[in-house]
A and B are shown apart, each in its own frame.
Chain A
Amino acid sequence: MEAPARSRAISLEVNGEQIEMEVPARRLLVHFIRDDLGLTGTHVGCDTGNCGACTIDLDGQPVKSCMALAVQADGAKIRTVEGLAAEGELTALQQAFNKHHALQCGYCTPGMLMSATALLERNPHPTEDEVRYALQGNICRCTGYVNIVEAVVAVGEEHA
Protein backbone atom coordinates (compact mmCIF):
# COMPACT_ATOMS: atom_id res chain seq x y z
CA MET A 1 0.00 0.00 0.00
CA GLU A 2 1.47 3.35 -1.06
CA ALA A 3 2.08 6.02 1.52
CA PRO A 4 0.29 9.35 1.26
CA ALA A 5 2.18 11.77 -0.96
CA ARG A 6 2.06 15.52 -1.47
CA SER A 7 2.14 15.17 -5.20
CA ARG A 8 1.08 12.53 -7.66
CA ALA A 9 1.73 11.66 -11.25
CA ILE A 10 -1.65 11.66 -12.88
CA SER A 11 -2.79 10.36 -16.21
CA LEU A 12 -6.09 11.45 -17.71
CA GLU A 13 -7.82 12.17 -20.97
CA VAL A 14 -8.74 15.80 -21.64
CA ASN A 15 -10.82 16.66 -24.70
CA GLY A 16 -9.69 13.44 -26.31
CA GLU A 17 -6.01 13.96 -25.63
CA GLN A 18 -3.97 11.90 -23.18
CA ILE A 19 -2.26 14.02 -20.51
CA GLU A 20 0.43 12.89 -18.07
CA MET A 21 1.60 15.29 -15.42
CA GLU A 22 2.88 15.48 -11.86
CA VAL A 23 0.63 17.69 -9.76
CA PRO A 24 0.56 18.82 -6.13
CA ALA A 25 -2.14 16.99 -4.18
CA ARG A 26 -3.59 20.28 -3.13
CA ARG A 27 -4.12 21.67 -6.61
CA LEU A 28 -7.78 22.21 -7.46
CA LEU A 29 -8.90 20.60 -10.70
CA VAL A 30 -10.01 23.98 -12.04
CA HIS A 31 -6.55 25.44 -11.56
CA PHE A 32 -4.96 22.37 -13.13
CA ILE A 33 -7.17 22.85 -16.16
CA ARG A 34 -6.59 26.60 -16.41
CA ASP A 35 -2.99 27.03 -15.28
CA ASP A 36 -1.30 23.69 -15.99
CA LEU A 37 -3.15 22.80 -19.19
CA GLY A 38 -3.73 26.35 -20.38
CA LEU A 39 -7.41 25.65 -21.05
CA THR A 40 -8.75 28.94 -19.81
CA GLY A 41 -12.32 28.53 -21.01
CA THR A 42 -13.27 27.01 -17.64
CA HIS A 43 -13.71 29.88 -15.18
CA VAL A 44 -13.57 30.61 -11.46
CA GLY A 45 -16.42 32.76 -10.13
CA CYS A 46 -16.71 32.03 -6.43
CA ASP A 47 -15.03 30.44 -3.44
CA THR A 48 -17.67 28.01 -2.29
CA GLY A 49 -18.81 25.88 -5.19
CA ASN A 50 -22.05 27.77 -5.82
CA CYS A 51 -21.62 29.53 -9.14
CA GLY A 52 -20.84 26.70 -11.57
CA ALA A 53 -18.57 28.76 -13.82
CA CYS A 54 -16.06 25.93 -13.39
CA THR A 55 -18.40 23.18 -14.65
CA ILE A 56 -16.78 20.49 -16.78
CA ASP A 57 -17.68 16.97 -17.89
CA LEU A 58 -15.95 14.35 -15.72
CA ASP A 59 -16.53 10.75 -16.78
CA GLY A 60 -19.76 11.70 -18.49
CA GLN A 61 -21.22 13.88 -15.73
CA PRO A 62 -21.22 17.62 -15.20
CA VAL A 63 -19.25 18.49 -12.07
CA LYS A 64 -17.83 21.64 -10.55
CA SER A 65 -14.09 21.47 -11.02
CA CYS A 66 -13.42 23.92 -8.16
CA MET A 67 -14.60 21.27 -5.70
CA ALA A 68 -12.37 18.52 -6.99
CA LEU A 69 -8.66 18.03 -6.68
CA ALA A 70 -6.63 17.39 -9.81
CA VAL A 71 -5.39 14.15 -8.24
CA GLN A 72 -8.97 12.92 -7.96
CA ALA A 73 -9.11 13.07 -11.77
CA ASP A 74 -6.30 10.56 -12.21
CA GLY A 75 -7.63 7.97 -14.64
CA ALA A 76 -10.63 10.06 -15.62
CA LYS A 77 -11.97 11.37 -18.90
CA ILE A 78 -12.60 15.09 -18.93
CA ARG A 79 -14.27 17.36 -21.41
CA THR A 80 -14.10 21.14 -21.16
CA VAL A 81 -15.84 23.82 -23.21
CA GLU A 82 -12.92 23.85 -25.63
CA GLY A 83 -13.78 20.27 -26.48
CA LEU A 84 -17.32 20.96 -27.64
CA ALA A 85 -16.78 22.50 -31.06
CA ALA A 86 -14.82 20.08 -33.20
CA GLU A 87 -12.39 22.05 -35.35
CA GLY A 88 -14.19 25.29 -34.63
CA GLU A 89 -17.53 24.06 -35.91
CA LEU A 90 -20.01 25.18 -33.32
CA THR A 91 -22.47 22.70 -31.89
CA ALA A 92 -26.20 23.22 -32.30
CA LEU A 93 -26.30 24.43 -28.71
CA GLN A 94 -23.49 26.95 -29.20
CA GLN A 95 -25.25 28.26 -32.29
CA ALA A 96 -28.52 28.49 -30.41
CA PHE A 97 -26.80 30.52 -27.68
CA ASN A 98 -25.76 32.99 -30.35
CA LYS A 99 -29.13 33.06 -32.07
CA HIS A 100 -31.10 33.53 -28.87
CA HIS A 101 -28.66 35.97 -27.26
CA ALA A 102 -28.05 33.60 -24.36
CA LEU A 103 -24.82 35.27 -23.35
CA GLN A 104 -23.75 38.80 -22.52
CA CYS A 105 -20.39 38.93 -20.76
CA GLY A 106 -19.74 35.26 -21.53
CA TYR A 107 -18.19 34.40 -18.19
CA CYS A 108 -20.81 31.87 -17.07
CA THR A 109 -21.22 30.60 -20.63
CA PRO A 110 -18.71 27.73 -20.66
CA GLY A 111 -20.25 26.32 -17.49
CA MET A 112 -23.76 26.78 -18.86
CA LEU A 113 -22.80 25.02 -22.07
CA MET A 114 -21.30 22.07 -20.22
CA SER A 115 -24.39 21.67 -18.03
CA ALA A 116 -26.78 22.11 -20.93
CA THR A 117 -24.82 19.74 -23.17
CA ALA A 118 -24.96 17.10 -20.45
CA LEU A 119 -28.73 17.62 -20.16
CA LEU A 120 -29.34 17.32 -23.87
CA GLU A 121 -27.26 14.14 -24.04
CA ARG A 122 -29.55 12.52 -21.47
CA ASN A 123 -32.78 14.26 -22.32
CA PRO A 124 -32.84 15.49 -25.93
CA HIS A 125 -36.18 17.31 -25.64
CA PRO A 126 -36.30 18.94 -22.23
CA THR A 127 -39.14 21.10 -20.99
CA GLU A 128 -38.44 24.56 -19.67
CA ASP A 129 -38.66 23.29 -16.08
CA GLU A 130 -36.21 20.50 -16.83
CA VAL A 131 -33.80 23.00 -18.33
CA ARG A 132 -33.99 25.25 -15.27
CA TYR A 133 -33.43 22.25 -13.02
CA ALA A 134 -30.37 21.23 -15.02
CA LEU A 135 -28.94 24.76 -14.93
CA GLN A 136 -29.71 25.41 -11.26
CA GLY A 137 -26.01 25.08 -10.45
CA ASN A 138 -24.90 27.75 -12.91
CA ILE A 139 -25.20 31.36 -11.82
CA CYS A 140 -25.56 34.13 -14.40
CA ARG A 141 -25.65 37.80 -13.41
CA CYS A 142 -26.20 39.26 -16.86
CA THR A 143 -29.06 37.49 -18.60
CA GLY A 144 -31.61 36.60 -15.96
CA TYR A 145 -31.49 33.12 -17.55
CA VAL A 146 -34.39 33.93 -19.88
CA ASN A 147 -32.56 33.55 -23.18
CA ILE A 148 -30.35 30.74 -21.92
CA VAL A 149 -33.39 28.61 -21.13
CA GLU A 150 -34.96 29.60 -24.42
CA ALA A 151 -31.85 28.53 -26.33
CA VAL A 152 -31.67 25.10 -24.71
CA VAL A 153 -35.38 24.43 -25.18
CA ALA A 154 -35.05 25.52 -28.81
CA VAL A 155 -32.29 23.01 -29.47
CA GLY A 156 -34.51 20.31 -28.03
CA GLU A 157 -37.41 21.34 -30.22
CA GLU A 158 -35.34 21.59 -33.35
CA HIS A 159 -34.29 18.00 -33.02
CA ALA A 160 -37.70 16.72 -31.98
Chain B
Amino acid sequence: MVLLREVGYARPATIEDAVSLLATHDGARPLAGGQTLVNVMKARAAAPDVLVDLVDLDELRAIGFSSDGLLEIGAMVTYTQLMGSSEVDVARPILAEVASTIADVQVRNRGTVGGNVCVSDPTNHFPPLLVALGATFTIRAESGERTVSADEFFLGVYLTAVGEGELLTKVNVPPSSGAGDGFAGVTIGKHGTYIVDAAATVSGDDVRIALGCVAATPVRASAMEERLTGSDFSEDSVRSAAVGVGATLDPPADVHGSADYRRRLAEVSAARAVLQAARRRRAK
Protein backbone atom coordinates (compact mmCIF):
# COMPACT_ATOMS: atom_id res chain seq x y z
CA MET B 1 0.00 0.00 0.00
CA VAL B 2 0.77 3.68 0.19
CA LEU B 3 2.45 4.34 -3.12
CA LEU B 4 0.58 4.61 -6.36
CA ARG B 5 0.94 2.41 -9.39
CA GLU B 6 2.02 4.02 -12.62
CA VAL B 7 -0.79 6.14 -13.94
CA GLY B 8 -1.43 8.42 -16.87
CA TYR B 9 -2.36 12.00 -16.11
CA ALA B 10 -4.18 14.55 -18.20
CA ARG B 11 -5.30 18.06 -17.39
CA PRO B 12 -8.01 19.07 -19.86
CA ALA B 13 -8.92 22.71 -20.39
CA THR B 14 -12.60 22.20 -21.12
CA ILE B 15 -15.42 19.98 -19.93
CA GLU B 16 -15.74 18.60 -23.46
CA ASP B 17 -12.11 17.55 -23.40
CA ALA B 18 -12.55 15.98 -19.97
CA VAL B 19 -15.54 13.94 -21.09
CA SER B 20 -13.74 12.94 -24.23
CA LEU B 21 -10.77 11.68 -22.24
CA LEU B 22 -13.02 9.75 -19.90
CA ALA B 23 -14.83 8.18 -22.81
CA THR B 24 -11.71 7.36 -24.80
CA HIS B 25 -9.59 5.71 -22.14
CA ASP B 26 -10.65 2.54 -20.43
CA GLY B 27 -10.08 2.80 -16.73
CA ALA B 28 -10.00 6.61 -16.74
CA ARG B 29 -11.31 8.41 -13.69
CA PRO B 30 -11.89 12.04 -12.90
CA LEU B 31 -9.62 13.54 -10.26
CA ALA B 32 -11.25 16.27 -8.20
CA GLY B 33 -9.91 17.03 -4.73
CA GLY B 34 -8.29 13.64 -4.37
CA GLN B 35 -9.17 13.35 -0.68
CA THR B 36 -10.61 9.92 -1.31
CA LEU B 37 -9.24 8.87 -4.69
CA VAL B 38 -5.58 9.46 -3.86
CA ASN B 39 -5.95 7.44 -0.64
CA VAL B 40 -7.69 4.65 -2.50
CA MET B 41 -4.86 4.62 -5.03
CA LYS B 42 -2.27 4.63 -2.24
CA ALA B 43 -3.90 1.54 -0.84
CA ARG B 44 -3.93 0.12 -4.37
CA ALA B 45 -7.57 -0.75 -3.77
CA ALA B 46 -8.28 0.92 -7.08
CA ALA B 47 -5.82 1.67 -9.83
CA PRO B 48 -7.21 3.79 -12.63
CA ASP B 49 -5.04 3.84 -15.72
CA VAL B 50 -5.69 7.48 -16.39
CA LEU B 51 -6.49 10.37 -14.11
CA VAL B 52 -8.39 13.25 -15.67
CA ASP B 53 -7.62 16.25 -13.48
CA LEU B 54 -10.58 18.64 -13.34
CA VAL B 55 -8.60 21.44 -11.70
CA ASP B 56 -8.65 23.80 -14.70
CA LEU B 57 -12.42 23.50 -15.28
CA ASP B 58 -13.51 26.75 -13.69
CA GLU B 59 -17.09 26.25 -14.80
CA LEU B 60 -17.29 23.38 -12.32
CA ARG B 61 -16.45 25.69 -9.43
CA ALA B 62 -19.38 27.99 -9.87
CA ILE B 63 -22.16 28.41 -7.32
CA GLY B 64 -25.23 30.15 -8.63
CA PHE B 65 -28.94 29.99 -9.27
CA SER B 66 -30.78 28.52 -12.19
CA SER B 67 -33.62 30.40 -13.80
CA ASP B 68 -36.11 28.46 -11.65
CA GLY B 69 -34.30 29.33 -8.47
CA LEU B 70 -32.43 26.08 -7.93
CA LEU B 71 -29.12 26.44 -6.17
CA GLU B 72 -26.56 25.10 -8.65
CA ILE B 73 -23.35 23.85 -7.14
CA GLY B 74 -20.51 22.94 -9.45
CA ALA B 75 -19.07 19.49 -8.90
CA MET B 76 -15.64 20.90 -8.10
CA VAL B 77 -16.92 23.22 -5.36
CA THR B 78 -14.95 22.47 -2.21
CA TYR B 79 -16.38 22.24 1.29
CA THR B 80 -14.51 25.43 2.21
CA GLN B 81 -16.13 27.16 -0.73
CA LEU B 82 -19.56 26.00 0.37
CA MET B 83 -18.88 27.36 3.84
CA GLY B 84 -17.94 30.75 2.45
CA SER B 85 -20.71 31.06 -0.13
CA SER B 86 -23.36 33.71 0.40
CA GLU B 87 -25.59 31.91 -2.13
CA VAL B 88 -25.51 28.75 -0.05
CA ASP B 89 -26.05 30.74 3.11
CA VAL B 90 -29.16 32.34 1.66
CA ALA B 91 -30.61 29.35 -0.12
CA ARG B 92 -29.72 26.23 1.86
CA PRO B 93 -27.35 26.83 4.79
CA ILE B 94 -27.48 23.21 5.98
CA LEU B 95 -25.08 22.40 3.16
CA ALA B 96 -22.41 24.65 4.67
CA GLU B 97 -23.24 23.55 8.18
CA VAL B 98 -22.69 19.89 7.34
CA ALA B 99 -19.62 20.69 5.25
CA SER B 100 -18.08 22.43 8.25
CA THR B 101 -18.10 19.17 10.20
CA ILE B 102 -16.26 17.12 7.59
CA ALA B 103 -12.86 15.99 8.91
CA ASP B 104 -10.66 19.09 9.09
CA VAL B 105 -9.74 22.30 7.31
CA GLN B 106 -7.09 20.70 5.11
CA VAL B 107 -9.56 18.15 3.77
CA ARG B 108 -12.25 20.81 3.35
CA ASN B 109 -9.90 22.94 1.29
CA ARG B 110 -9.57 20.19 -1.30
CA GLY B 111 -12.55 17.88 -0.92
CA THR B 112 -15.42 18.55 -3.31
CA VAL B 113 -19.16 18.04 -3.30
CA GLY B 114 -18.85 16.12 -6.56
CA GLY B 115 -16.22 13.85 -5.11
CA ASN B 116 -18.26 13.24 -1.99
CA VAL B 117 -21.31 12.08 -3.93
CA CYS B 118 -19.54 10.22 -6.73
CA VAL B 119 -17.53 8.14 -4.28
CA SER B 120 -20.86 7.06 -2.76
CA ASP B 121 -19.22 5.72 0.37
CA PRO B 122 -22.08 4.87 2.73
CA THR B 123 -20.44 6.97 5.46
CA ASN B 124 -20.12 10.12 3.36
CA HIS B 125 -22.06 13.16 4.54
CA PHE B 126 -23.61 14.48 1.34
CA PRO B 127 -25.46 11.45 -0.02
CA PRO B 128 -28.07 11.25 2.76
CA LEU B 129 -28.24 15.03 3.01
CA LEU B 130 -28.88 15.52 -0.69
CA VAL B 131 -31.45 12.73 -0.73
CA ALA B 132 -33.33 14.45 2.08
CA LEU B 133 -33.13 17.79 0.28
CA GLY B 134 -34.40 16.28 -2.96
CA ALA B 135 -31.37 17.39 -4.94
CA THR B 136 -30.79 16.51 -8.59
CA PHE B 137 -27.55 15.71 -10.35
CA THR B 138 -26.49 16.93 -13.81
CA ILE B 139 -24.33 14.50 -15.74
CA ARG B 140 -22.48 15.30 -18.95
CA ALA B 141 -21.61 12.65 -21.49
CA GLU B 142 -20.32 12.88 -25.04
CA SER B 143 -23.90 12.31 -26.12
CA GLY B 144 -25.26 15.19 -24.12
CA GLU B 145 -26.44 16.16 -20.67
CA ARG B 146 -29.05 14.67 -18.39
CA THR B 147 -30.33 15.31 -14.89
CA VAL B 148 -30.97 12.55 -12.43
CA SER B 149 -32.90 12.64 -9.13
CA ALA B 150 -31.21 11.85 -5.83
CA ASP B 151 -33.20 8.64 -5.47
CA GLU B 152 -31.78 7.44 -8.81
CA PHE B 153 -28.26 8.75 -8.39
CA PHE B 154 -26.89 6.53 -5.64
CA LEU B 155 -26.81 2.94 -6.87
CA GLY B 156 -24.48 1.13 -4.49
CA VAL B 157 -21.23 1.30 -2.59
CA TYR B 158 -18.87 3.34 -4.79
CA LEU B 159 -21.51 3.14 -7.54
CA THR B 160 -23.56 6.02 -8.93
CA ALA B 161 -25.51 6.91 -12.04
CA VAL B 162 -22.36 8.50 -13.45
CA GLY B 163 -21.15 5.87 -15.88
CA GLU B 164 -17.93 5.29 -17.77
CA GLY B 165 -17.08 8.25 -19.94
CA GLU B 166 -19.39 10.56 -18.02
CA LEU B 167 -18.82 13.47 -15.68
CA LEU B 168 -20.94 14.94 -12.91
CA THR B 169 -21.03 18.67 -13.55
CA LYS B 170 -23.57 20.08 -11.09
CA VAL B 171 -25.56 19.30 -8.00
CA ASN B 172 -28.84 21.18 -7.97
CA VAL B 173 -30.50 21.86 -4.64
CA PRO B 174 -33.96 23.34 -4.15
CA PRO B 175 -33.86 26.49 -2.04
CA SER B 176 -35.28 25.98 1.42
CA SER B 177 -38.22 28.38 1.02
CA GLY B 178 -38.95 28.27 4.70
CA ALA B 179 -38.25 24.58 5.18
CA GLY B 180 -36.12 23.57 8.11
CA ASP B 181 -33.21 21.17 7.71
CA GLY B 182 -31.51 18.98 10.25
CA PHE B 183 -28.63 16.56 10.38
CA ALA B 184 -27.75 14.29 13.29
CA GLY B 185 -25.73 11.20 14.05
CA VAL B 186 -22.85 9.69 15.97
CA THR B 187 -19.26 9.92 14.76
CA ILE B 188 -15.99 8.23 15.60
CA GLY B 189 -14.44 11.14 17.44
CA LYS B 190 -15.32 14.77 16.86
CA HIS B 191 -15.90 15.49 13.17
CA GLY B 192 -14.91 11.92 12.41
CA THR B 193 -16.54 9.33 10.22
CA TYR B 194 -20.22 8.72 10.92
CA ILE B 195 -21.35 5.44 12.42
CA VAL B 196 -24.94 6.33 11.58
CA ASP B 197 -26.37 9.63 10.40
CA ALA B 198 -29.71 11.04 9.39
CA ALA B 199 -30.75 14.09 7.37
CA ALA B 200 -34.22 15.57 7.56
CA THR B 201 -36.18 18.34 5.91
CA VAL B 202 -39.44 19.60 7.35
CA SER B 203 -41.53 22.01 5.36
CA GLY B 204 -45.15 22.99 5.69
CA ASP B 205 -46.53 19.84 4.11
CA ASP B 206 -43.58 17.61 3.68
CA VAL B 207 -41.10 15.57 5.67
CA ARG B 208 -38.15 13.87 4.04
CA ILE B 209 -35.80 11.73 6.10
CA ALA B 210 -32.71 9.96 4.74
CA LEU B 211 -30.50 7.62 6.73
CA GLY B 212 -26.82 7.09 6.03
CA CYS B 213 -24.39 4.32 6.95
CA VAL B 214 -27.13 1.72 7.30
CA ALA B 215 -27.11 0.36 3.76
CA ALA B 216 -25.12 0.62 0.55
CA THR B 217 -26.98 3.80 -0.35
CA PRO B 218 -29.02 6.33 1.64
CA VAL B 219 -32.32 4.95 2.86
CA ARG B 220 -35.49 7.02 2.95
CA ALA B 221 -37.30 6.45 6.22
CA SER B 222 -40.62 6.45 4.36
CA ALA B 223 -42.69 4.83 7.08
CA MET B 224 -41.54 7.42 9.58
CA GLU B 225 -42.24 10.17 7.06
CA GLU B 226 -45.80 8.87 6.73
CA ARG B 227 -46.29 8.66 10.48
CA LEU B 228 -45.30 12.32 10.67
CA THR B 229 -47.88 13.55 8.18
CA GLY B 230 -49.81 16.34 9.88
CA SER B 231 -47.61 16.03 12.96
CA ASP B 232 -47.13 18.79 15.47
CA PHE B 233 -43.46 17.77 15.61
CA SER B 234 -43.41 17.79 19.38
CA GLU B 235 -40.67 15.81 21.04
CA ASP B 236 -43.07 12.99 21.90
CA SER B 237 -44.63 12.81 18.44
CA VAL B 238 -41.32 12.67 16.68
CA ARG B 239 -39.84 10.10 19.02
CA SER B 240 -42.81 7.83 18.77
CA ALA B 241 -42.78 8.18 14.98
CA ALA B 242 -39.14 7.09 15.02
CA VAL B 243 -39.92 3.86 16.81
CA GLY B 244 -39.62 1.01 14.33
CA VAL B 245 -37.27 2.76 11.94
CA GLY B 246 -34.53 0.37 12.96
CA ALA B 247 -36.62 -2.73 12.45
CA THR B 248 -36.82 -2.14 8.71
CA LEU B 249 -33.05 -1.90 8.35
CA ASP B 250 -30.30 -4.45 7.83
CA PRO B 251 -27.26 -2.39 8.77
CA PRO B 252 -23.67 -3.63 8.72
CA ALA B 253 -21.85 -4.74 11.87
CA ASP B 254 -18.25 -3.74 12.38
CA VAL B 255 -15.74 -2.55 14.93
CA HIS B 256 -17.77 0.56 15.67
CA GLY B 257 -21.08 -1.05 16.28
CA SER B 258 -23.30 -4.08 15.90
CA ALA B 259 -26.25 -4.16 13.54
CA ASP B 260 -28.57 -3.68 16.53
CA TYR B 261 -26.63 -0.66 17.70
CA ARG B 262 -26.90 0.89 14.26
CA ARG B 263 -30.62 0.21 14.18
CA ARG B 264 -30.96 2.03 17.46
CA LEU B 265 -28.75 4.90 16.31
CA ALA B 266 -30.85 5.19 13.17
CA GLU B 267 -33.98 5.75 15.23
CA VAL B 268 -32.30 8.23 17.53
CA SER B 269 -30.59 10.11 14.68
CA ALA B 270 -33.77 10.28 12.63
CA ALA B 271 -35.68 11.70 15.58
CA ARG B 272 -32.98 14.24 16.37
CA ALA B 273 -32.63 15.34 12.75
CA VAL B 274 -36.38 15.82 12.43
CA LEU B 275 -36.61 17.75 15.68
CA GLN B 276 -33.79 20.01 14.58
CA ALA B 277 -35.42 20.55 11.19
CA ALA B 278 -38.80 21.26 12.75
CA ARG B 279 -37.30 23.85 15.10
CA ARG B 280 -35.75 25.65 12.17
CA ARG B 281 -38.77 25.65 9.99
CA ARG B 282 -40.13 29.11 9.34
CA ALA B 283 -43.82 29.55 10.08
CA LYS B 284 -45.71 30.17 6.89
Contact = CB atoms under 8 A, between A and B. Distances in A.
Establish whether A and B are touching in the complex (CB under 8 Å).
yes
B105 A67 contact: no
A52 interface: yes
Interface residues of A, number: 35
A88 B71 CA distance: 49
Contacts of B3: 26, 28
Contacts, number: 109
B9 A67 contact: no
Contact of A64 (B10, B11, B107): B107
B17 A136 contact: no
Most buried by B among A4, A28, A137: A4
A67 B34 contact: yes
B9 A8 contact: yes
Nearest to A24: B6
B113 to A, nearest CB: 17
Contacts of A5: 8-10
A55 B8 CA distance: 26
Contact of A71 (B2, B9, B109, B191): B9
A67 B110 contact: yes
A45 B103 CA distance: 17
B31 interface: yes
A102 B186 CA distance: 31
A86 interface: no
Interface in B188-213: 190-191
Interface string B241-263: 00000000000000000000000
Interface string B1-24: 111111111111100010011000
B25 interface: yes
A61 interface: yes
A66 B191 CA distance: 20
A15 B222 CA distance: 55
Interface stretch (B49-57, B126-134, B174-182): B49-57
Given A47-B1, A67-B35, A71-B53, A6 B9 contact: yes
A115 interface: yes
Given A48-B39, A137-B104, A4 B109 contact: no
Interface in B25-48: 25, 28, 31, 34-35, 38-39, 42-43
Contacts of B190: 136
B160 interface: no
Nearest to B189: A136
A138 to B, nearest CB: 8
Interface in A131-153: 133-134, 136-138
B8 A62 contact: no
Q: Which of A3, A55, A118 counts the most B-chain CB atoms under 10 A from its CB?
A: A3
A133 to B, nearest CB: 8
Contacts of B6: 6, 24-26
A2 B50 CA distance: 13
A6 B5 CA distance: 10
A41 to B, nearest CB: 17
A25 B21 CA distance: 16
A26 B34 contact: no
Contacts of B28: 4
Given A52-B104, A69-B31, 14 more contacts: A4-B50, A6-B9, A8-B9, A25-B6, A26-B3, A26-B5, A48-B42, A49-B39, A64-B110, A66-B38, A67-B107, A68-B34, A136-B103, A137-B106
Interface of B: 1-13, 17, 20-21, 25, 28, 31, 34-35, 38-39, 42-43, 50-53, 55, 80, 103-107, 109-110, 190-191
26 contacts: A2-B11, A3-B10, A4-B50, A5-B10, A6-B7, A6-B9, A8-B9, A25-B6, A26-B4, A26-B5, A26-B7, A47-B2, A47-B39, A48-B39, A64-B106, A66-B42, A67-B107, A71-B9, A72-B34, A72-B53, A72-B55, A115-B105, A118-B105, A136-B104, A137-B107, A138-B104
